[in-house]
Amino acid sequence: MGYNVTQKIIKAHLVDGRMKAGSPIAIRMDQTLTQDATGTMAYLQFEAMGVDRVKTDLSVSYVDHNMLQTGFENPDDHRFLQSIAAKHGLYFSRPGNGICHQVHLERFGKPGTTLIGSDSHTPTGGGIGQMAIGAGGLDVALAMAGQPFNLKMPRVIGVKLSGELRPFVSAKDVILEVLRIKTVKGGVGCVFEYLGDGVETLDVPARATITNMGAELGATTSLFPSDAVTKKFLKAQGREADWSRLVADKTAAYDEVLDIDLGNLEPMVAMPHMPDKVQKVSEVKGMKVHQVAIGSCTNSSYKDLMTVAGMLKGRSVHTSLSLGISPGSRQVLEMITESGGLADMIKAGARILESGCGPCIGMGFAPPSAGVTVRSFNRNFEGRSGTKTASVILASPETCAAAALTGEMTDPRDLGIAPVAVKIPKAFATDDTMVIPPLSAEEAKKVEIIRGPNIAPLPRKERPGATLSGVVLLKTGDNITTDHIMPAGAKILPLRSNLPKISEHVFEAVDPTFPKRAMEMGGGFVLGGENYGQGSSREHAALAPMYLGVKAVITKSFARIHLANLINFGILPLTFKDAADYDRVDQGDELELDIADVMKPRLTDKTKNLKIAVVPQIFSDRDRELFLAGGALNYASGK
């Protein structure tokens, strides 16, 4: 039996374990990336390990999230990150150079290699055949220190594409179809690998859109083969030498196969407040729209924006709404300027926003109260836009442009305009002056780290005792996201390097009294339903609860990255052996958890005098040792 692309890359990087689905494995990481919202804490953790210089082939520190500088906090963090990069041998992508995933795809990603990033949309790199995995910042810090990444060997779901997309139907509609079929929890423990004749009809920006938003499936990552299309893209980026052919063997097998005929797809949207609430645009046509935003790491490429520019050319944005456009990178902004696309968008009435994440994380351009905003982004969780009462609809750039022109949900095929054909340029603008390369080891010794007053000392957790006790501080429902646990936005993101301050906002969108109660009660337990912790890789959703004294989280099931983050920070993740027991335990109940043998925990609800069977979500000896050490940082540094 031959190997698929996923298996080939894992086999070439396997450090420990067996390539059997569900078994613990460890793989070598070639590259890392961080962004500024997660990077500051990741580099504080890297410093604590006492490693002088990163041990990867390439590591890049990007600034793209905390770009709204309303105070000293964000610019101070940016100076810290730049000095850290100079000190420890990283590339530093300056503010304004673009969104990490778009820039990495353009300038650094390499087929057949592995990439771990402290952002859940790191799988964007799968668009060029790179195994790119999102993780918590501590896992990235460990990789920079030369340690392998530990995970479960994923199941590989083959998505067989046939046919060709029709006009005004695009890659966003492909991934929305996959989400419609598999849901936001259907990809946990899986890699989605795309194959079939339809693959060669999709260029790299289209593939990257699909792999980027594969994160919403809960997947480990998503992958396309590295083929002639990939080679053409890398050659246009001046990086043909980085290309290598990587395709599945003809006899390769998959754990499951989905068949999608591209020619049968039509424009689709994800309705509030979850990326898998997928409907056809034709089913919601006529709905009034108050704002449109085009960009994010999902749909901000040169091709995406030139398509939008072509649709807007000679027309005007509807008077009932505001249109904001965020180019994905400095390269994209430069090229749409030179080609005239930027002028077409401005003449149409679009507002041009900075090359950064911006509205996607609630960092500016918030929608009005109770407004409908249509966005070419990847997440539409409640409140993520910065306006809790807003309804966020996810759509392709083409559907976004149609809404911007008409003021309502409109199938772009009904506009009566000719399709816009945008080809991948033969040569992209490749000015890397906004990327500062690593200093030599000797030069790096002279660098002093610049720390602003908002950067608080790195916390550590004590080793757990034989018994954990406390009250149920909070009981949540299904699909609790990391945005629910640790909100983002212009108010909170600047606090990412100040754990005591940011901890005041834990579960703010669910129960704003949580932080105060947790501190007063000396910590306790959190109960959750299915798919707890889906969404962003933000480790603060584990780190801040740890700071508040959360000892264990008990759920029906967990999302992958958040589960790993809980273990990394010494919070015990448990699931109910019988999901019905979730209904037997209430918020406020006093619990006692005997973990004399952490692999056989015994839970008692002392308030109701109930014995509750729970299962530790610890899958390897390493996970067990991490938890017993009080977290991965203690474990890695031998403390």
Which residues carry out catalysis? 64-65, 119, 379, 536, 538
Cβ density class 66-83: b for 16+ within 10 Å, e for less: bbbeeeebbbbbbebbbb
Residue 465: CB atoms within 10 Å: 9
**Chain position carrying tokens 């778009």:** 102
Strand partners of residue 155: 190
CB 299 within 8 A of CB 307: no
Residue 169: CB atoms within 10 Å: 23
Rounded to whole angstroms, the Cα distance separating 595 from 61 reads: 39
Rounded to whole angstroms, the Cα distance separating 344 from 417 reads: 16
Strand partners of residue 103: none
**Chain position carrying tokens 């500051």:** 40
Sequence-distant (≥ 6) Cβ neighbours of residue 639 within 8 angstroms: 460, 629
CB 473 within 8 A of CB 526: yes
- Residue 551, both tokens: 């000892």
The sign of the dihedral angle between the CA atoms of 389, 393, 394, 395 is negative
Residue 22: CB atoms within 10 Å: 11
Rounded to whole angstroms, the Cα distance separating 504 from 512 reads: 9
Q: 291 vs 405, 407, 423, 493, CA distance in Å?
A: 11, 8, 29, 23
- Residue 460, both tokens: 């550590």
- The enclosing H or E element of 17 equals strand 14-17
Three-class SS state of 67: coil
Half-sphere exposure of residue 417, counting CA atoms within 13 Å on the CB side?
A: 22
Within its chain, how far is the Cα of 346 from the centroid?
A: 30
CA nearest to 560, candidates 28, 255, 133: 133
Rounded to whole angstroms, the Cα distance separating 73 from 295 reads: 25
Strand partners of residue 117: 33, 134
Q: 125 vs 33, 121, 221, 425, CA distance in Å?
A: 11, 9, 9, 20
Rounded to whole angstroms, the Cα distance separating 456 from 366 reads: 29
Cis peptide bond N-terminal to 88, omega within 30: no
Strands 155-162 and 190-195, how do they pair? parallel
